[in-house]
Amino acid sequence: MPNVLFVWNDEIVEYIAQHGVSQDEFEEVVLNARHIERSRSSGRPVVFGPTSSGKFIACVFEYLDDGEVEVVPVTAYEID
């Protein structure tokens, strides 16, 4: 997913941190995504992937525009 602008705010950063995921880890997985799926619970885009720190995480987000350039993180969590 090249040329992505992540739209972060303090609440989102804090929320994903509660799930053990950093802002850098979220961006790493989304930017390296090869396939985007839809969340079964929310219908939002979700990607799954490894981080350089050794975690395997799910990243749920929304597109801010139709051009799929601006991404608003929603949640992220580690998968066992």
| pLDDT tens string 9-66 | 999 999 999 999 999 999 999 999 999 999 999 999 999 999 999 999 999 999 987 6
Q: Which pLDDT score, from 0 to 100, does residue 1 have?
A: 61
Angle (nearest 5°) at CA 78 between 54 and 10:
105
Q: Which pLDDT score, from 0 to 100, does residue 18 have?
A: 97
Name the region of 50 (left: φ>0; alpha: ψ -120 to 50; beta: rest). beta
34: number of CA atoms within 13 Å, CB side? 2
Structural domain count of the chain: 1
Q: Which domain holds residue 53?
A: 5-78
For 71, the token pair is: 């991404």
Q: Which pLDDT score, from 0 to 100, does residue 3 have?
A: 79
What are the distances in angstroms from CA 73 to CA 17, 24, 52, 56, 64?
A: 12, 12, 19, 17, 10
Q: Which pLDDT score, from 0 to 100, does residue 51 have?
A: 97
Question: How far is 13 from 30, CA to CA, in rounded Å?
Answer: 15
